[in-house]
Chains A and B, each alone.
Chain A
Amino acid sequence: MKEQDDWLYEINAKQSLLAIDFKEIWRYKDLLLLFVRRDIVSAYKQTILGPLWYVIQPLFTGVIFTLVFNNIASIQTGGAPPFLFNLAGITMWSYFAQCLNNTSNTFASNAGLFSKVYFPRIITPLSQAISALFKLSIQLLIFACFYLYFVLKGYALQPDVTLWLFPVVLGILAVLGLGLGMLISSLTTKYRDFRILIGFATTLLMYVSAVMYPIAEVQNSETLSEYTWVVELNPIAILIEAFRYMTLQEGIFNWGLLGYCALLSLMVFFVGLVVFNRTGRNFIDTI
């Protein structure tokens, strides 16, 4: 019978693991853009400095890091000026951290919205990753400015040819942050512990992600040789290092490692997505 076939959609009790309706997500693309716009517009409303905060945060962190890690702890940054070296790390790291932090709160902070209306839940974390790009682009601009400044000051800086891979590196970083964030946001619906955990875990993660030191420094250290793998196999460290190689020609760039990062990130993202989708269907009953 014709009548049984032409249903537009069904609401089912059971759902296959990966029932992601891409057509539907596409239909909600306007919502995605509006969420991005909302996040950007409302982030610094009623602040005096506004988006200038995007500039101030990395600059001050960069200065402090240079003072502490390069001047006091005297970490070597090769041919690159320490400040620029740190700024590169901070820029990439803060993008990752923003993706992770914001998406890991998806369910908790949108409970009111999610309990009242349906839209593909994935829109929310996606919008977070995209609005984080806005902040990143401002910080990249700052980085470029200082880059020029140091070039004019006589540093022999030159971007590597691999710079065209930057979107790929950024993409992997975003996918990893999103995946982890979605996984954690699903766990927080049941256990609030994870929300507290994520706060200091990201801070700790920063220290093993080669943000303010080159991976080589860890490898050369004799006291830490047993734990070198923590940094070496950390995809964030590898990606930050790759970014510094592209821009400052400092650090390690390795196709194999990049492939490993991509694979790992995709896996994390995939697991995160499945868990996120499952949680999204029923989380309103448990939150």
Chain B
Amino acid sequence: MSIILKAENISKQYRLGTVGTGTLRDDFKRNWAKLRGKEDPFLKVGAVNDRSQKSTEDYVWALRDINFEVKQGEVLGIIGKNGAGKSTLLKILSRVTAPTTGVIKSRGRIASLLEVGTGFHHELTGRENIYLNGAILGMTRAEINTKLDEIIHFSGCERYIDTPTKRYSSGMTVRLAFAVAAHLEPEILVVDEVLAVGDAEFQKKAIGKMQDISQGEGRTVLFVSHNMASVRSLCIRGLLLENGTSIYEGDIDSTVGHYLDKNKTKTSKSFVSPLVFSEDQIVRIKSFKILSKIQTGSEFDYEFVLESRYSNTVELAIGFVTSQNERVYQIFSGNSCEPFNLIDGEQIIRGSIKQLPLTAGSYTLNLWAGSGKIQYVFHKDALQVEVSLGSFKETKIVAHRNYALVGDAKWEYHD
């Protein structure tokens, strides 16, 4: 297969602080100060600036020497932590901003989907917005004409298509906008995490459409996401970015593997809070720790360290929240045992789940301590963990992809 897109030595530099204060007057002041040999009056404002004063590094490289090639019909997943440079790379690819060095060569038209519904005008009707949005994304009027019915049907907004979009519900607007985007037919499609909007049903539809585009129609797609599950199911190859450089490139499973290794999730968390106890606040969670590996189907061990000044009882809970912000799984001590007795001082409580039912992916943990309906402590998003791929039986690999929970069950023939 031929190479359709090639990036050579792509770098992007941003200036720190000195981009301009925003007003002409301030820049005059700054230059005037420079002329008299005084220090920049705006560097003194606010923060401690010792470092920036001494350092000559006023610049930061958001991307540094990125090289990659994409073949025709390939779906490349670009992954990395926040601040790794994914969005900057997307912006350069979609020509929103220019690279500082390097060149991107392309054999096809690139259409980018950094946002759903770019350029929608709420005073215009749905139909008019389809044309406007389509044209902004690079379609010609003739192209839109041939697809209009399909787009309207896909959006499910037939009845309101001649109503101004300001009368639409937000869900309808998103559906209409996605319908337009889904019917783009560029040679190369660049997609940001736009799929992370909308309800579960819409996301399913969106992912399905993405799969059609890449697999069915053989389009080249560059896909950026935090959601490892959707990256895995959509992409063939992966590019892993860290601190603006590309650190791994290969097939998607090994790239995701590298990413997860790199981000060996923190498995413990200490909480610093003032040691003031009262009737409403009889206990605090001093720390929380995961003692085992975090893998689907494996045993999951954890430890709470509690601190108290009272002799009372307390119940504990851990909640697992998916990256789509769905609270999917909770372990509550009250379901399994009597409340724990508190003592004056530290108390360590350990627990374990026989088989972790969560499928591979990232989850945030909420921690709770309370008694019945009374809540003493609630740490939202206390810890972020990455559940790795695993199984219930040694030989089986859990196939789940789109489900958050899996379980072991007894299956048998019934005579």
Residues of chain A having any CB pair with chain B under 8 Å: 3, 6-13, 15, 27-28, 30-31, 33-35, 37-38, 41-42, 45-46, 112-119, 190-194, 281-282, 284-286
Q: Mark B112-127, 1 if CB is under 8 A from A, else 0.
A: 1011001101011000
Contact status B124-A38, CB under 8 Å: yes
Chain B residues within 8 Å of chain A by Cβ, number: 48
Q: Does the CB pair B132–A34 fall under 8 Å?
A: yes
Complex: A114 Cα to B112 Cα, angstroms: 12
* Whole-angstrom distance between the Cβ of B318 and the nearest chain A Cβ: 39
- Segment touching A, from B14-22, B211-219, B252-260, B405-413: B14-22
Contact check, A117 vs B106: say whether CB atoms are below 8 A apart.
Answer: no
B193 contact set on A, CB distance < 8 A: none
Whether A7 contacts B105 in the complex (CB less than 8 A), given A113-B119, A116-B115, A285-B14, comes out as: yes
Kindly identify which residue among B97, B123, B128, B135 contacts A31, using a CB–CB cutoff of 8 Å: B135
Contacts beyond the supplied A12-B99, A13-B98, A113-B136: 7 A-B pairs with Cβ under 8 Å: A8-B108, A10-B106, A11-B95, A30-B139, A38-B121, A117-B136, A282-B98
**What chain A residues lie within 8 Å of B107 (beta carbons)?**
6-8
Question: Are B23 and A191 neighbours in the complex by a CB distance under 8 Å?
Answer: yes
- A selection of 22 A-B contacts at a CB cut-off of 8 Å is A7-B106, A9-B105, A10-B103, A10-B105, A11-B106, A13-B98, A30-B140, A34-B132, A37-B128, A38-B128, A41-B128, A45-B123, A114-B96, A115-B96, A116-B115, A117-B96, A118-B94, A190-B20, A191-B23, A282-B98, A284-B91, A284-B96
Give residues 84-109 of B contacting A (CB, 8 Å). Answer: 91-109
CB pair A285–B97 under 8 Å, yes or no, is yes
Q: How far is the CA of A194 from the CA of B20 in the complex (A)?
A: 15
A188 to chain B, nearest CB (A): 10
Closest to B62 in A: A285
Q: Are B135 and A34 in contact (CB under 8 A)?
A: yes
Contacts of B124 in A (CB 8 A): 38, 41-42
The digit string for B65-94, where 1 denotes a CB below 8 A from any CB of A, is 000000000000000000000000001111
Distance (Å) between the CB of B94 and the closest chain A CB? 6
What separation, in Å, do the CA atoms of A13 and B105 have in the docked complex?
12
A117 contacts B114, CB within 8 Å?
Answer: yes
Given A7-B105, A117-B112, A284-B91, A15-B98 contact (CB < 8 Å): yes
Contact A13 B100 (CB under 8 A): yes
Q: Are A117 and B137 in contact (CB under 8 A)?
A: yes
Instruction: Chain A residues near B2: list those with CB within 8 A.
Output: 3
B24 interface residue per 8 A CB criterion: yes
Question: Cβ of B346 < 8 Å from any Cβ of A?
Answer: no
Name the B residues within 8 Å of A284 (CB-CB): 91, 96-97
Q: Do residues B135 and A28 form an inter-chain contact, with CB atoms below 8 A?
A: yes
